[in-house]
């Protein structure tokens, strides 16, 4: 099989972003899943930060994974990927200077794009887990990311949480990120089409939507008409892998089939999030 260069994969993603169709991502988390996604005809994949945390640390998505650990996983995927892969780069692993390092490392790993979010990560003492950084800081991070990239085809996607702000504030943020040069805007927490339409009306760049399968947003033609080019439905493939591993090992041990746990229940059980919540309340006074 002939290999496709990282530059060409980035160009392919740019073509998707500049087109008129809406595509759903394949959740890819290792070289095998990347090859499967490509073979099945997926146009784009995504390496989720939450999935990387599960796979590398068996930990919940509390911004515990380091940049180097995330880059290692992205590099393994980049060696074999035959489809463009978007990396969920969380907050860029720090301030604007850390963002520059993040972009350099993920570009070398071979990703086609990365998302940078404006969530206040990691969680700060006495702050809510959904708090966002200021718009000016978000713009500074984006400008730093654009400065750091070498391959101009690498897409820098600004991500914000539309579900925790008034729509006017979402419009202010996304317009500022567009003005700063973001190649696309990623929206989390969009409730329905009316909510999406209000935001999209003020934007010219392509949109990426993290919908988690929201039934109120299941209309690809309508999404495409509003500028949505990429939809992330979640990471069911990795959770299915957890479930398959559990069932196979349980069968190997010839254990009774009672107490059959779902994939999400298994992930919850083995990441032990209750411990992290206790520690966060005790040491950080985290407010939910």
Q: Is 235 helix (H, G, I), strand (E, B) or coil?
A: coil
CB-facing half-sphere around the CA of 125: CA atoms within 13 A = 3
Question: 53-77, pLDDT tens digit by residue?
Answer: 999 999 988 888 999 999 999 999 9
Backbone angles phi, psi at 98, to 5 degrees: -65, -35
The whole-number pLDDT of residue 1 equals 62
- pTM to 2 decimal places: 0.94
CB 225 within 8 A of CB 200: no
User: The domain 6-284 belongs to what CATH superfamily?
Assistant: Phosphoenolpyruvate-binding domains (3.20.20.60)
Please report, rounded to a whole number, the percentage of residues in the chain having pLDDT higher than 90: 83
CA dist 234 → 4, 74, 211, 237 (Å)? 26, 18, 8, 9
Tokens describing residue 160: 């914000």
The whole-number pLDDT of residue 282 equals 87
CB 68 within 8 A of CB 252: no
Q: What's the distance, Cα to Cα, between the start and end of the chain in Å?
A: 50
The whole-number pLDDT of residue 257 equals 63
The whole-number pLDDT of residue 287 equals 62
Could you tell me which of 197, 196, 175 has the C-alpha nearest to residue 187? 196
Tokens 């400065």, residue located: 147
Question: 14-59, pLDDT tens digit by residue?
Answer: 999 999 999 999 999 999 999 999 999 999 999 999 999 999 999 9
The whole-number pLDDT of residue 149 equals 98
Q: Which residues of the chain have pLDDT under 70?
A: 1, 256-259, 286-288
Q: What is the largest distance, in Å, between two alpha-carbon atoms of the chain?
A: 60
């Amino acid at each position: 099989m002939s290999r496709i260069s990282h530059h060409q994969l980035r160009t392919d993603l740019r073509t998707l972003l500049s087109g008129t169709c809406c595509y759903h991502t394949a959740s890819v988390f290792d070289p095998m899943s990347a090859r499967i996604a490509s073979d099945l005809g997926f146009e784009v994949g995504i390496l989720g930060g939450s999935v990387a945390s599960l796979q590398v640390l068996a930990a919940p998505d509390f911004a515990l994974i380091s940049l180097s650990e995330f880059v290692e996983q992205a590099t393994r995927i980049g060696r074999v990927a035959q489809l463009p892969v978007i990396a969920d780069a969380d907050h860029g692993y720090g301030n604007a200077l850390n963002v520059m390092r993040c972009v350099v490392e993920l570009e070398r790993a071979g990703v086609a794009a990365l998302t940078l979010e404006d969530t206040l990560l990691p969680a700060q003492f006495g702050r809510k887990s959904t708090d966002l950084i200021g718009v000016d800081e978000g713009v500074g991070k984006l400008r730093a990311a654009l400065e750091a990239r070498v391959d101009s085809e690498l897409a820098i996607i600004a991500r914000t949480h539309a579900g925790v702000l008034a729509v006017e504030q979402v419009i202010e943020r996304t317009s500022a990120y567009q003005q700063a040069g973001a190649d696309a805007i990623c929206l989390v927490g969009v409730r329905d089409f009316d909510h999406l339409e209000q935001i999209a009306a003020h934007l010219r760049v392509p949109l990426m939507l993290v919908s988690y399968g929201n039934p109120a947003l299941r209309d690809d033609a309508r999404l495409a008409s509003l500028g949505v080019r990429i939809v992330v439905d979640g990471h069911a493939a990795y959770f299915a892998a957890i479930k398959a591993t559990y069932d196979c090992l349980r069968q190997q041990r010839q254990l009774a089939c009672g107490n059959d746990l779902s994939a999400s229940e298994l992930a919850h059980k083995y990441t032990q999030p209750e411990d992290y919540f206790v520690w966060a309340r005790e040491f950080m006074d985290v407010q939910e």
